[in-house]
Amino acid sequence: MQEERAKPQKMVLDCDTGVDDTLAILYAALHPDVELLAVGSVWGNVDIATATRNCLHTVHMAGRADVPVARGAAGPLIGTPPVYAYHVHGDDGQGNAGTGRGVGAAIAGTAAEQMIRLARAHPGEVEIVAVGPLTNVALALGLCPELPELVHGVTIMGGAALAPGNVTEVAEANIWCDPEAAAAVFNAPWRLTMVGLDVTMRTTLDDGHRARLAAGGTIGQYTSRILDHYLDYFAAASFGERRSCLHDALAVAVAARTLVPSSAPTVNAFVVLGDGPTRGQTVCDLRGMYMGYPHQDGAHCRVVLETDPHFADEIVALIAAAGDSAVPLNKEGRT
C-alpha cells in the first residue's frame, strides 16, 4: 500500500522583501508541500512600498498571481523610526538588479488583518511564517488576542540562541528592528519555532549555486542576478569569501517540514527589551543541553539548532527548474 502523503502546509508568509525573502517566497510559491495562502509585506530590509512591490513581483514572477499580497506596517510597533538595510539588499531590495517595475496591486486591508482572516477561515491549519520584523504579527495579536488558538503555529526567521548576533554582538536583525513586537510574539501562548542565526549562518549559497540558477529559465536567471550584490555583502561582513546566507527560506522549509531539524529543543525563551547593549537579544534556556533537553514547564518555543546544510542545493534546484517568469520581460530582457 502506498504511504499517504501529508497535506501541503497552509501558510501565510510575512516578508520585508529583500534578497533572501525573495528566495523564501519563491520556495513557498513553487514547492508542492506548501499551500501558500497569502503574503504580507512588512518594513525592515527596505521601506514598506518597496517591500510590497517586491512581494508582488515575486509571486507574479512565479506564476502565482492567485496569491494575495497585503501591505503591512511601515515601522516599529512603538512608533520609533524605521532603520533599513539597503546596504545588505540594494536600494531596490533586489541587489540593485531588479527592474523596479510595479506588478499587480496589494489587496485592501492590512497584512495583520489578512493573517487573522485566514486563521479564522482555516482554524488550526495555518502556519504564520514571519521572516522580517515581527510588527505585523504583533499587530495581529493585538487585534485578535485569540489568534494563538486559531493558528497551527508561528515560525520565524529571527533570533540567535548560541550564535552571535548580526546587528549587535547579540541581536539578530529581525528581532533588533522591533524588539517590542518580537517580545509580544515570544510571549503569546502558541507553538513558536525559531529558525535563527544558529542555523541560517550555516546554510550558504555561492557562485556555483548562482551558475546553476543562471542555467535555468528567467526565474533562475533573475534569482542569480539579485544574489550577486548579496554575496559581496556577506564576503565583506561575515565570510571573507563570496557566499551568502539563505536565512528566510530555511524558516519556510522548516514550517513546511521539507527540512526537518536534527536538533530543535522546546525551551523557554524571551526577548531582551530596554535600551541597554543587549536590546533585541533572544535568550533561550538551553541549560538542559547536557541531558537531552528535559521538559521545561510552560516552554513553547522550539529553537532550531541544527539542520541539513544541503538545503541550499534543494532550493537552487527548485528555482532553476521553475522555468520562465510569468511577468513579461522588459526591453533589456529582464523580468
Footprint of ligand BDR (CB under 6 A): 18, 20-21, 45, 85, 88, 131-132, 157, 166, 172-174, 247-248
Note whether 171 and 281 are within 8 A (CB). Answer: yes
Q: Which does 198 bind (CB under 5 to 8 A by kind): Ca ion, ligand BDR, none?
A: none
Note whether 36 and 9 are within 8 A (CB). Answer: no
Q: Is position 247 annotated as part of the catalytic site?
A: yes
Note whether 84 and 45 are within 8 A (CB). Answer: yes
Sign of the dihedral through C-alpha 45, 51, 57, 58 = positive
* Residue closer to ligand BDR, measured from CB, 85 or 235: 85
Residues in the chain: 335
Phi, psi of 307 (to 5 degrees): -140, 170
Q: Which does 173 bind (CB under 5 to 8 A by kind): ligand BDR, Ca ion, none?
A: ligand BDR
* Residue closer to ligand BDR, measured from CB, 238 or 296: 238
* Residue closer to ligand BDR, measured from CB, 163 or 283: 163
Find the shortest distance in angstroms from Cβ 183 to ligand BDR.
Answer: 17
Q: Is position 16 annotated as part of the catalytic site?
A: yes
Give the N- to C-terminal CA distance of the chain in Å, as an integer: 45
- Alpha carbons within 13 A on the beta-carbon side of 51: 30
Find the shortest distance in angstroms from Cβ 21 to ligand BDR.
Answer: 5
* Residue closer to ligand BDR, measured from CB, 233 or 270: 233
Q: In what order do the strands lie in the sheet with 126-130?
A: 69-70, 34-41, 9-15, 126-130, 153-157, 192-195, 301-303, 266-267
Interface stretch with Ca ion, choices 70-78, 96-104, 123-131, 311-319 (CB under 5 A): 123-131
Could you say which residues in the range 218-257 bind Ca ion, by CB under 5 A?
248
* Residue closer to Ca ion, measured from CB, 97 or 131: 131
Choose which of 21, 92, 113, 178 interacts with Ca ion (CB under 5 A).
21
Find the shortest distance in angstroms from Cβ 146 to Ca ion.
Answer: 27
Q: Rounded to 10 degrees, what is the CA torsion of 16, 21, 27, 28?
A: -10
Interface stretch with Ca ion, choices 127-135, 199-207, 262-270, 295-303 (CB under 5 A): 127-135
Which residues are CB-neighbours of 229 under 8 A, at least 6 positions away?
Answer: 19, 89, 90, 95, 96, 97
Could you list the residues that contact Ca ion (CB under 5 A)?
16, 21, 131-132, 248
